[in-house]
Structure 1
Amino acid sequence: MKAHRIETKLTKNGTLILEDLPFQAGEAVEIIVLERFPQPSESNSYPLRGKVIHYDDPFEPAVPIEDWEVLQ
């Protein structure tokens, strides 16, 4: 089975036009239409860019030392 991906937009009246498909005239094809969501590169990929970030103690362990089983 050959697969071909095309990204296009609907016209104002909701018509979808597919051109230059790599199939022969008369060949049976299956059409699946999926809504396209914005890709991370199209949306804000860096939501914290330009925001002030402050770490109180960046080298403090995430788990208190007394809770580490390996040290017991």
Structure 2
Amino acid sequence: MNAHRVETTLTEDGRLTLNNLPFCAGDSVEVIVVVRTAPSAKQNIYPLRGMPIRYNNPTEPVAEEDWSASG
């Protein structure tokens, strides 16, 4: 599949014009129109920032049973 992306704006009368497409005259093409929405300025990309950090038993060994102490 040969795809080509073009971003444009509808005219006041609702028309859409696509110019200079990289296809040959007579080629059959499929057009899909998707509305571009502006990303929310209030969207938090770091949802855990500022949340309290709590460590349960921070000095206890971790996965002690997974290690063998043979020597």
Aligned 1:33-48 pairs, distance under 5 A:
33-39=33-39, 44=41
> Which of the residues 50, 60, 71 maps onto 1:71?
60
Which amino acid counterpart does residue 12 of structure 2 have in structure 1? Answer: K
Taking structure 1 as the reference length, the TM-score comes to 0.58
Higher helix share: 1
Q: Who wins on radius of gyration, i.e. which is larger? A: 2
State the one-letter code of the partner of 1:26.
Answer: G
- Residues 61 and 12 of structure 1, relative CA distance in 2, 3 Å threshold: closer
> Deviation digits for residues 47-71 of structure 1, max 9, x if unmatched?
8xxxxxxx7xxxx7423xxx33862
SS in 2 for 1:71: coil
1:22 corresponds in structure 2 to 22
> Which 4+ runs in 1 deviate beyond 3 A?
none
CA distance in 2, matches of 1:10, 1:61: 49
User: For structure 2, which runs of at least 5 residues remain unmatched after alignment?
Assistant: 45-49, 62-71
Q: TM (normalized to structure 2)?
A: 0.59
Supply the RMSD in Å over aligned alpha carbons: 3.3
Q: How many residues align?
A: 56
CA distance, structure 1, for counterparts of residue 31 and residue 53 of structure 2: 54
